[in-house]
Amino acid sequence: MPAIAAHDVTDRLAELARFTGRGAGVTRLVYDEAWCAAHRWLASEARAMGLAATADWAGNLYLHDPAVKPGHAAPPVLMVGSHLDSVKHGGRLDGAYGTIAGLLVAHASRGMAGLPVVGFVSSEEEGSRFHGGMMGARSMLGMVDERELDTVADREGITWRDALEDARARGCAAALPRAPFAPLFRPAIELELHIEQGPVLEAEGLALAIVDRIAGYRHWTAWIEGEARHAGTTPMRLRHDALAAAGEMILAAEHAAGEAGEPAVATVGFARPSPGLFNVVPGTCELWLECRHVRGDDLEALADAVTRRWREVAQRRGVRLGLEEGPGQPPTALSAALADAATDLAREMRLAHRRMASGAGHDTMVFAQAGVPTLMAFVPSRAGVSHSPDEATDDDHLVTGVQFLAALTRRLAEHTPR
């Protein structure tokens, strides 16, 4: 396997970061103009390196040896990559780092004995445009029901089907096949390299984490209905303030997660009170709630604790509470055998490392839930910052991570029977 040079990593990451919408950081929502430009650039880069670049109906991109043909007769492959989309005003590394790693490792693996290596670019993971996320990995694995194309829509009411038509017009997705939507490749192993998005590796002075499990999460949309009244004439004791109730609920979620202890987390990431005026007591408020934990029973206990406290707040304050649960993911164990192999390699390469659970969701969890042996590796995030324009990782760590991934890919591909 040819060596991957430092500039191969850093230059391409800088180039990919150019494809963004307006404002600070990187905004690249699935199928938007910046996303399509990045998609075309990655395909062009792959072809310039002698790889084939094949898009599927959902806009996932596969970077592979031209001799390895996609379709029902495709051999089992080792897939390595990450997602192309971003959060709004996010960083330049989340997803992009693993995507560039997949491109470089697929190129370095051409002609290698063993499992063919396919770099993948997942179209959508974040849920920034279409609520729920993981659309890319699910579509790669044939886990999408055709009805979702018409029921999944963004905030502007644009359905997945309509957004796909626009992406196809821009050359960023293949024609929609007949359902059921069969995968183009059969993954025997899936690997994903990612920034940590947290502070642990940097704080402990480590270069690498071997990820052996991923936290699950549950999502709710909450509607609080109080009474909109004149703010100047309604005494405090007679108010049913939806926003005040929401504030108490937000703190109740924070307290419940704190009492559960690490690694439990609960977050309200969105609040929309109405009517939003100086002189009107808020009559309604919408909240988005998320609970996460790495163990299933503990996730259920946290969710029960938070929602129970919210109902108690609503009853005490005399407001009505509606809770609608959205798509979630259970906690997911990754392959113990692959984690052991990666740990052995990290020792051989004399990389300071540790085992770790991921608090963030990733494409890899969908592969694991589909029965594919999977593994993730993390490199440090500077100050633990992610989903922010300030997201950064030292170049040395970025390069080391890709070189580790290339070595692990070679070891696994050569020792896994087709």
Q: What are the DSSP calls for 315-376, one per residue? A: HHHT-EEEEEE---B--EE--HHHHHHHHHHHHHTT--EEEEEESS--HHHHHHHTT--EEE
Q: Count of CB atoms within 10 A of residue 137's CB? A: 27
Would the pLDDT of 41 be above 80? yes
Global confidence as pTM: 0.89
Instruction: For the chain, list the domains and their CATH numbers.
Output: 6-214+331-415 (3.40.630.10), 216-325 (3.30.70.360)
Over residues 103-124, the mean pLDDT reads 96
Which residue in 199, 197, 243 sits closest to 223, CA to CA? 243
d(CA 392, CA 207): 14
User: For a pLDDT cut of 70, what percent of the chain falls above it?
Assistant: 99
Q: What are the DSSP calls for 177-195, one per residue? A: -SSS---SSEEEEEEEEEE
Give per-residue pLDDT as tens, 140-151.
999 999 999 999
Phi, psi of 191 (to 5 degrees): -125, 145
Check the annotation: does 39 bind a ligand.
no
Check the annotation: does 391 bind a ligand.
no
Check the annotation: does 240 bind a ligand.
no
Give per-residue pLDDT as tens, 201-230.
999 999 999 999 999 999 999 999 999 999
Q: How far is CA 238 from the centre of its chain?
A: 45
Give per-residue pLDDT as tens, 116-145.
999 999 999 999 999 878 999 999 999 999
User: For a pLDDT cut of 90, what percent of the chain falls above it?
Assistant: 94
Give per-residue pLDDT as tens, 63-98.
999 999 999 888 999 999 999 999 999 999 999 999
pLDDT at site 133: 80
pLDDT at site 267: 98
Q: What band does 113 get if pLDDT is binned at 50, 70 and 90? A: confident
Strand order across the beta sheet in which 320-325 lies: 265-274, 284-293, 216-225, 320-325
Check the annotation: does 126 bind a ligand.
yes
d(CA 109, CA 86): 27
CB 402 within 8 A of CB 193: yes
Over residues 351-377, the mean pLDDT reads 97
SS3 233: coil
Check the annotation: does 219 bind a ligand.
no
Q: Which residue has the tokens 């996609």?
A: 70
